Amino acid sequence: MNILHYTIGFQPDRTGGLVKYATDLIEAESRQGNDVVVLFPGTLGISQKFGIHHERKTSLRIGVECFSITASLPLPLASGIRNPERFMRKVDEQVYHEFLTRNHIQIIHVHSLMGIHLELFRVANKLGIPIVFTTHDYFGLSTEPNLYLHGKSYDDQNNIAFWEKVAVQAPSVRRDLIYQLPGYHILRNIIKKMPKSKTEQDAEVTNSDQDLNTRLSEELKN
């Protein structure tokens, strides 16, 4: 069977249970004789034109054909999203169509919704390719991993006003971009020690009755 896995990447750039589980499964399916292809969000480069790039070195290291998405959606690895419009950018469906048909994909296993465009799912649906989704991170449920804020569980107050308060506390755009830099794993410990932006600091002492920001509210609704 021709199987496509979408995951957030491989060690050492990405770590944790999601990465380990996906890697183990990919290697096991390949050993069983399946034709396995992997797609993951690429690192930032000079060109930010959307496309799919063959990762030759990663393919040799993992033992299956690996491809990266150039100009993928951001990876909110730290917690939350402050600029929802950056996560709704539209891309050319034809790129995904050519990728799926060229590799004769018969089924898609999605391990995370981070970084992937809606267009992949639309194209797969048009081509009749079934999708298996086994999320291993918070992003399948929420834009933020704690699911708890100011003594409230998200399911107790699941409305735009609450999510706007969560979004204000999210990391800056700068940090989101850093997560996709080449060699991010080297910078990981340094980033943890970076001081929070003034917006993040202010959010920690924000009163729960904070007025909604109209632009952010509309983006969150979308």
The CATH number that applies at residue 98 is 3.40.50.720
Alpha-carbon distance 132 to 195, whole Å? Answer: 39
Report the length, in residues, of the chain.
Answer: 222
Look at residues 178, 53, 27, 26 and name the one whose alpha carbon lies nearest to residue 111: 26
Structural domain for 111, as ranges = 1-222
**Stretch 81-86: mean pLDDT, rounded?**
85
- pLDDT tens digits along 96-123: 999 999 999 999 999 999 999 999 999 9
Domain total for the chain?
1
pTM for the model: 0.82
3-state SS, residue 40: strand
% of the chain with per-residue pLDDT over 70: 77
Cα 110 to Cα 68, 130, 173, distances in angstroms? 14, 11, 25
Q: Are strands 152-153 and 51-54 parallel, antiparallel or unpaired?
A: unpaired
Alpha-carbon distance 48 to 72, whole Å? Answer: 9
Q: How many CB atoms lie within 10 A of CB 69?
A: 23
How far is it between the farthest Cα atoms of the chain? 58
Backbone angles phi, psi at 221, to 5 degrees: -60, -45
- pLDDT tens digits along 152-173: 777 777 777 777 877 877 777 6
Assess contact for 67 and 99: CB atoms under 8 A. yes
Assess contact for 176 and 76: CB atoms under 8 A. yes
**Stretch 128-137: mean pLDDT, rounded?**
92
